[in-house]
Structure 1
Amino acid sequence: MEKISYQDVNQHVIERCRNGENRAQYELYKLYSKAMFNVCMRITNDYAEAEDVLQEAFISAFKNMHSYKGEASFGSWLKRIVVNASINAIRKRREEVVALDEREAGEIPDQVDEDDMEWQVEKVRAAIQKLPEGYRIVLTLYLLEGYDHAEIGEILKISESTSKSQYSRARKKLIDIMREPQLVA
């Protein structure tokens, strides 16, 4: 008996989605919704908005299944839709671009205490949530989602150098926030 791969199963579900089968759409939603919600949450920093963005992104993906050519994994294709939907939601939410802070970026400390790693992760997560929206988005796309600065520039409609400088300033701001006494438990 021939072994069926995950990719073959995934392709079968994608084909059924292309044919408009609701059950297949639900199967894809179940497979990817948690990971994609986390992407939405990291970018929008708002639970309710992340839920809305996730739903809109899946609707858009299902309507545009014909444009998925299989050149990248389905997850990568869907993630791009989710990232763009999250960015668009933020654009709708705000009227002006975050002003760039002209201070130099600091260095991230090299030493991490292994005994309280969980506390450190929570501290970083809380600090990222406190970043100004523009900084948080660039930092999230670069560090957590793995986009390079050219891709971030394309997504946000900014130059690659602006992405790099916002990332650098976001790192500095993140360090400043993490040094604030209210984040220390």
Structure 2
Amino acid sequence: MEAVSYQDVNSHVIDRCKEGDNRAQYELYKLYSKAMFNVSMRITNDYAEAEDVLQEAFISAFRNLHAFKSEASFGSWLKKIVVNAAINAIRKRRSELVPMDEQVVAEVADEQFEDDSEWKVDNVRRAIQKLPDGYRVVLSLYLLEGFDHAEIGEVLGITESTSKSQYSRAKKKLLEIMKEPQFSV
């Protein structure tokens, strides 16, 4: 199968960056920094650390821009760098995934809340922030970043079944958190 080349709408800026144009680097930073900060923040759950991860990721991206081959969008290439940098930051602070056996935990049945107001976006965001690092990372990568369990396993160095278990437990814990009084209206 032949590799498909992706024509990025910002390819002219990327080309200028490859030539060492600092203004183009700043322009690319402005185009992607907010979205990439949000990715970093969802994984690290710490504003200062998310900023550090963002800067590290852009430095790495600019140093390795020659490796960008336009097989996907620049944004998705950069997002992988940000995700890896955020996960490395979590590892540096010695957080570990919540211990468990390798068996896949049965999917938690979707619970219905009597009052839909409990599911306001801000409440869900705050509840996700309360999850332990391991749960939050897997949940964020799966639900918010669109990774599948095999990809999560590869990135985190865990098995696919462990990723599924972490995700299942994260959903269950999230439901518990959402039932706490401070998340009620």
With structure 2 as the length reference, what TM-score do the two structures score? 0.88
Distance 1:138 1:87 in 2: 10
Distance 2:9 2:49 in 1: 32
Hey, what does 1:141 align to over in structure 2? 141
Pairing 1:11-160 to 2, within 5 Å after superposition = 11-94=11-94, 96-100=96-100, 106-110=108-112, 116=117, 120-160=120-160
The 1:96/1:166 distance shift into structure 2, 3 A limit, reads: closer
SS at match of 1:99: coil
Per-residue deviation at 1:13? 0.7
CA contact (8 A) 1:37 1:51 kept: yes
Higher helix share: 1
Query: Which segments of 5 or more consecutive residues in structure 1 lack a partner in the other structure?
Result: 1-6
Comparing 58-67 with 90-99, greater Cα deviation is found at 90-99
Per-residue deviation at 1:183? 2.4
Per-residue deviation at 1:152? 0.5
The 1:97/1:168 distance shift into structure 2, 3 A limit, reads: closer
CA deviations on 1:41-79 (whole Å, 9 max, x unpaired) are 000000000001000000000000011000000000000
CA contact (8 A) 1:105 1:172 kept: no
SS at match of 1:52: helix
- Aligned-pair identity in percent equals 72
SS at match of 2:100: coil
The 1:161/1:8 distance shift into structure 2, 3 A limit, reads: closer
CA deviations on 1:97-135 (whole Å, 9 max, x unpaired) are 422389765323346866x48x62111111100100000
CA contact (8 A) 2:53 2:89 kept: yes
The 1:8/1:133 distance shift into structure 2, 3 A limit, reads: closer
One-letter amino acid of the counterpart of residue 30, structure 1: K
The 1:8/1:80 distance shift into structure 2, 3 A limit, reads: closer
With structure 1 as the length reference, what TM-score do the two structures score? 0.88
SS at match of 2:152: helix
One-letter amino acid of the counterpart of residue 140, structure 1: S
Distance 1:135 1:87 in 2: 13
Per-residue deviation at 1:142? 0.1
Hey, what does 1:170 align to over in structure 2? 170
